[in-house]
Amino acid sequence: MKVVGWRGCILATLGALQACALVWGSGGTALAQLSAVLAAATLGSLAIVWVAFDTHFSRVPLWGVLSLALLLRLVAVQADPLLEDDHFRYLWDGMRTALHFDPYQKAPSAFFGSNDLTQPWQDILSGINNPDIPTIYGPVLQALFALAYFIAPGQIGAVQGLLLLVDLACMALLVRQRVDTRWLLAYALHPMILKEAMASAHPDGLVALWLLLALAAWQHRSMRWAGALSGLAVATKVAALVVVPLFLLAHRRGRSFWRTTAALVFGFILALALVYLPFLAAGGSDAGGLKTFAEQWRFNPLLFRMIEATTPHGLARPVAGLLIAAGVAALAWRQFESSTEGRCAAMPPVDSALMLLLLLSPVVNPWYALWALGPAMAGRQPLVRALVVALGCVGVLAYLNGSVLPQATGWAFNGSAAPFAVAWPVALVQIGVLALVAVWAHRALLPPAGVP
């Protein structure tokens, strides 16, 4: 099959410049890192917009898409984490899990002043943010961090290499799902994957991998495996709980309902037990850190800002939680009602549930879009797919916050009261872009009213 000539060359160049910008900016000053991140996201977003509007890219051969994806990722993993310090926690957790199996028992600050740590580990310890709070990362991530420790102790490159394999596995599953070539190109070029997963080593793509596997198992009617894999997703990031009701109610009705439900629940509980019980037996879990996170964290909220502005003080989080629960319940019930005796409903809309969570959550870190990107590509809802892709692209604007900007430019727009806050204009730009994409997707990607 013929490669798309000059279009393919220019698109590959845009992708390569994006990845190279991340490598150039990493390790530099805060201004260099911010400039690199914004430039890379702009190049990647322009490439995706071009792919979306130019149908010629549907003729790019699969080997070309996969080769481009591999090349960009191999370049991006050469970068050090940009504008991030979460990787210090990953390295610390990996060491504590591998050597002592106690990542949840003590906060990192308990080791300040310890004479048992070598200088490199002292440096890693000093780089951890919120050191008084125990880790919030689930047991599956602790296993990932421990594996990285065994590969190369204290080296973030080991985590990046493992995440590269995770992302390639996600892409292989998307190919198996027969995702359209242009959407595969968008995934290959997506700036969120290159910056957050490859360069900054955020492991959230592992949630997407478990969910893609769970969807594949569900399609093959392997209900125990679907339940177990969704359980592993929850044990990776607890946010994946929002998709569990969709698996429970998105299958055939009638006499087989209770049998398939029991199989799903059994697989789900078994997976959670297998990964959590060893840590619980050792004396801890991620519950304490997650409780603090749920009660206190707030960063780059999207529609949650509107909820805060319209509800009494202290009620915004409960209201947002109720809205998310109601939305997920509506999605699950719609799936259940669309099934009949002897016929299953459509694929569970896990992408819609995750998108709803991201829109209404009080914390929307840029890399959270990695949860939904893979499932959205595999899903059957073009509107949600376009919104998730767009959210990942505009998520980079969250770095224009009250912590990064003073370091990079000396400009502090909100003083010290909320050092990580994102200004209203930035959030409105994000919401505005999502609204425009929703309108475009509704008109361009969805069939007109009355057309099946």
Tens digits of residue pLDDT in 368-401: 999 999 999 998 888 999 999 999 999 999 999 8
State the greatest distance between any 2 C-alpha atoms of the chain, in Å, as a whole number: 72
Q: What is the pTM of this model?
A: 0.93
Give pLDDT tens digits along the chain (452 positions): 455 688 889 999 999 999 999 999 998 899 999 999 999 999 999 999 999 999 889 889 999 999 999 999 999 999 999 999 999 999 999 999 999 998 998 899 999 988 889 999 999 999 999 899 889 999 999 999 999 999 999 999 999 999 999 999 999 999 999 999 999 999 999 999 999 999 999 999 999 999 999 999 988 888 899 999 999 999 999 999 999 999 887 665 555 777 888 899 999 999 999 999 998 888 877 778 778 878 888 888 899 989 988 999 889 999 999 999 999 999 988 887 776 554 555 688 999 999 999 999 999 999 999 999 999 999 888 899 999 999 999 999 999 988 888 888 877 665 444 667 788 888 889 999 999 999 988 777 665 444 33
Residues 162 and 293 grouped into a single domain: no
Q: What is the pLDDT of residue 342?
A: 47
Q: Per the structure block, which two tokens stand in for 270?
A: 């078994």
Residues 318 and 437 in one domain: yes
- Give residue 392's identity as a one-letter amino acid code: G
- What was the pLDDT predicted at 1? 42
Instruction: Indicate if 286 and 308 belong to the same structural domain.
Output: yes
- The reply to whether 246 and 327 lie within a common domain is yes
* Amino acid identity at 227: G
Q: How far apart are the first and last CA of the chain?
A: 32
DSSP class per residue in 229-241? HHHHHHHH-GGGG
- Look at residues 341, 345, 322 and name the one whose alpha carbon lies nearest to residue 247: 345
Please report the pLDDT score of residue 183 as a whole number: 94
The answer on 112 and 224 residing in a single domain is: no
Q: How many CB atoms lie within 10 A of CB 395?
A: 25
Closest by alpha carbon to 201, among 115, 76, 388? 76
- Which structural domain range is residue 56 located in? 1-203
Same domain, yes or no, for 235 and 147? no
Q: How far apart (Å, rounded) are the C-alpha atoms in residues 96 and 320?
A: 35
How many domains would you assign to the chain? 2
In terms of domains, do 195 and 82 share one? yes
Q: Which residues contact 197 (CB under 8 A, 6 or more apart)?
A: 163, 166, 167, 203, 204, 205, 367, 370
pLDDT at res. 346: 63
CB 217 within 8 A of CB 179: no
Q: Are 196 and 366 in contact (CB under 8 A)?
A: yes
Angle between helices 350-360 and 369-378 (to 10 degrees): 150
Domain identity same for 79 and 220: no
Q: What is the pLDDT of residue 293?
A: 79
- What tens digit of pLDDT does each residue of 245-260 get? 998 876 655 557 778 8
Adjacent-strand bridge partners of 422: 401
Same domain, 365 and 334: yes
CA dist., res. 76 & res. 320, Å (int): 36
Determine the Cα–Cα distance for residues 419 and 304; give it in Å rounded to an integer. 19
- Point out the domain boundary residue: 158, 182, 203: 203
Beta bridge partners of 91: none
The two tokens of residue 161 are 């290499």
- Pick the last residue of a domain from 203, 221, 254: 203
Residue 106 is encoded by which pair of tokens?
Answer: 């003590």
User: 332 with 246, same domain?
Assistant: yes
Residues 127, 85: contact at Cβ < 8 Å? yes
Measured CA to CA, the distance from residue 208 to residue 184 in angstroms comes to 15
Residue from 87, 55, 225, 232 nearest 155 by CA: 87
Of 385, 415, 387, which Cα lies nearest the Cα of 402? 415
Do residues 304 and 424 share a domain?
yes
Residue at which a domain ends, from 203, 233, 249:
203
Q: Where are the alpha helices (DSSP H) in 297-361?
A: 304-310, 316-337, 350-360
Report d(CA 168, CA 173) in Å as an integer: 9
Residues 269 and 142 in one domain: no
